[in-house]
C-alpha cells in the first residue's frame, strides 16, 4: 500500500515532468519564432518552469524521493506536433500561440488535478498552489494574445 508521502512524491514527480515538457516546448517555440516580443515571453515562461523544476526537485528530495528526469510521452508528442505545424505554416504567430496554449492547457490541467489530491502533504500543496498561479497566469497571457489575433482576423 502506498503511503501518503509516496503519493505526494508521485504528484510532485508528475509536475516535474510537466515542467520539463514546458521548458522544452517553450525552447522549441523560441526557435520557431522571429518575433522579439514572443521570444522574450517564451524565454520568461521557460524560466518560470525552470524555477518550478528546482522547487519540485527539492521537495521530492526533502521527502526522501528521487526526482524524475525527462518528459512525458505526451509532451514529446506535443513538441513534435508543434515542430510540424510551425514548419507547415511558415512560423505563423497565431499557430505558434495555439500550440503553446495547447501545451499549457495540459500543464494547467495537471496542476488542477494535483491540487484536488487529498493525499498531498501541506507543504507540497503550498508549493503546487503557488506554481499553479504562475503557470495559469502565463497560460492566460498566451490565450489572450491568441484571442486578439483571432478577433482581428475574424
- pLDDT tens for 60-102 read 999 999 999 877 766 665 666 566 566 556 677 888 888 888 8
Q: How far apart are CA 51 and CA 133, in angstroms?
A: 13
Provide the pLDDT for residue 75.
63
For residue 30, pLDDT beyond 90: no
State mean pLDDT over 20-38. Answer: 87
Distances (CA, A) of 63 to 3, 5, 9, 38: 12, 7, 7, 37
**How much is the mean pLDDT over the chain?**
87
Give me the mean pLDDT over the 9-17 stretch: 94
- Beta-carbon contacts of 83 under 8 Å, excluding residues fewer than 6 positions away, are 28, 32
pLDDT at position 89 is 64
Question: Which is more confidently placed, 45 or 31?
Answer: 45
Amino acid at each position: 500500500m502506498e503511503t501518503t508521502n509516496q503519493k505526494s512524491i508521485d504528484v510532485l514527480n508528475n509536475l516535474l515532468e510537466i515542467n520539463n515538457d514546458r521548458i522544452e516546448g517553450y525552447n522549441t517555440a523560441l526557435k520557431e519564432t522571429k518575433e522579439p516580443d514572443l521570444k522574450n515571453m517564451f524565454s520568461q515562461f521557460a524560466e518560470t518552469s525552470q524555477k518550478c523544476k528546482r522547487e519540485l526537485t527539492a521537495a521530492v528530495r526533502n521527502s526522501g524521493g528521487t526526482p524524475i528526469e525527462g518528459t512525458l510521452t505526451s509532451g514529446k508528442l506535443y513538441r513534435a506536433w508543434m515542430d510540424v505545424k510551425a514548419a507547415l505554416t511558415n512560423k505563423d504567430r497565431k499557430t505558434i500561440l495555439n500550440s503553446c496554449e495547447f501545451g499549457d492547457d495540459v500543464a494547467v490541467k495537471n496542476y488542477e488535478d494535483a491540487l484536488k489530491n487529498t493525499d498531498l502533504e501541506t507543504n507540497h500543496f503550498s508549493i503546487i498552489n503557488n506554481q499553479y498561479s504562475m503557470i495559469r497566469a502565463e497560460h492566460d497571457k498566451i490565450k489572450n494574445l491568441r484571442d486578439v489575433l483571432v478577433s482581428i482576423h475574424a
